[in-house]
Amino acid sequence: MAKHERGLRPKKEIPPDLPPDTETRVTPSQNSYILPILGVGGALLLGGAFFLTINSPSIEMICRQVGNCQRFNEDANKAQDLFKKAEDSFKTAKSVQDLVVASRSIDEAKNGLSTIPDSATELVPPIGEQRTKVSDLDKKIAIALALEQNADKALKEAISKIANADKLNRKPQEETEPPDDAKKRLNKPKAVYIEAQILLQGIPNNSFLASVKKESLKQLAEKVKDLDGKLGAVKALDPCVVNPDSCKPVDPCVTNPSACASPTPQPVDFCEANPAACQSAPPPPKCPKPTLFGPCSPGY
């Protein structure tokens, strides 16, 4: 039997084609080949980046003509998200501020689609269809926003007029008013209340403020009714209402008939008025010798 020494490992067999003490390592001669290769690769990368930076406008122009830029897809997707946000805000809007948010979103969507050329044929849905949808929603939002802004303005003006009319409707304390002054004072707030009513009636029934409009008109009707009652009471205190004959203007001819009587005409002599008509005709001339013809003829 072969004897084995304890604590000793058998030596590895060395391939016959390698020397016993040779290790695998990069020699200086091999480094001289690797460094130039790495340098050329880095130069190519830097040159490519520089080329893309310098020629990016040209590349983008080519991309626009072909119509398949990745940026177009990104802009279109962003515009679609903004369109959906505007559509949801418009459908669920309950105030002017909600419509303002929808309007801003649709404006951003329009701006995003405006950067995409018509040649972008790779978009789904097509760019033309997206623009049409955005434009239609933009019109609806604009109409609704204008309606609500006008309604809001009318309501604020009506509220201001009601407050002013309420001040005018207060009776001065510890003052006695003649009926004419009271009527003038009460007619002023009534006229302002009617102006407020006209403003509220102009608010459409499909407005967000329709319920406020209805309640305000009801309150105004009660205020005007109250004023009419006060004016009726003032008229009852007016002596001209109780006894209209006492306020009629008095005809001076009734109190002094002789002052209004016309003078009696005196008779006028006709001859005095027309002396020429009353003069007698002159006597005919005397004929010294009769003639056959003329005034002195026998037959004349």
* Predicted local distance difference test score (pLDDT) of residue 37: 64
Kindly report the CATH number that applies to the domain delimited by 149-242: 1.20.58
Q: What is the pTM of this model?
A: 0.53
User: Please, what is the average pLDDT of the chain?
Assistant: 75
Domain with CATH 1.20.58 in the chain: 149-242
List of the chain residues with pLDDT < 50? 1-8, 11-12, 14, 18, 21-24, 26, 48-49, 51-53, 55-59, 62, 64, 66-67
Q: What is the DSSP letter of 92?
A: T
Q: Which residues of 56-68 are buried (b: 16+ CB within 10 A; e: fewer)?
A: eeeeeeebbeebe
CA distance 48 to 52: 6
CA distance 162 to 165: 5
* Predicted local distance difference test score (pLDDT) of residue 246: 60
Q: State in Å, rounded, how far the first CA of the chain is from the last one.
A: 220
Structure confidence by residue, pLDDT tens digits, 3-48: 444 444 554 454 555 455 444 454 555 555 565 566 655 555 555 4
* Predicted local distance difference test score (pLDDT) of residue 171: 72
Residue in the structure block whose two tokens are 């590349």: 59
* Predicted local distance difference test score (pLDDT) of residue 271: 66
Mention every residue, 6+ apart, whose C-beta is less than 8 A from residue 84: none
Cβ proximity of 214 and 191 under 8 Å: no
User: CB atoms < 10 A from the CB of 284, how many?
Assistant: 9
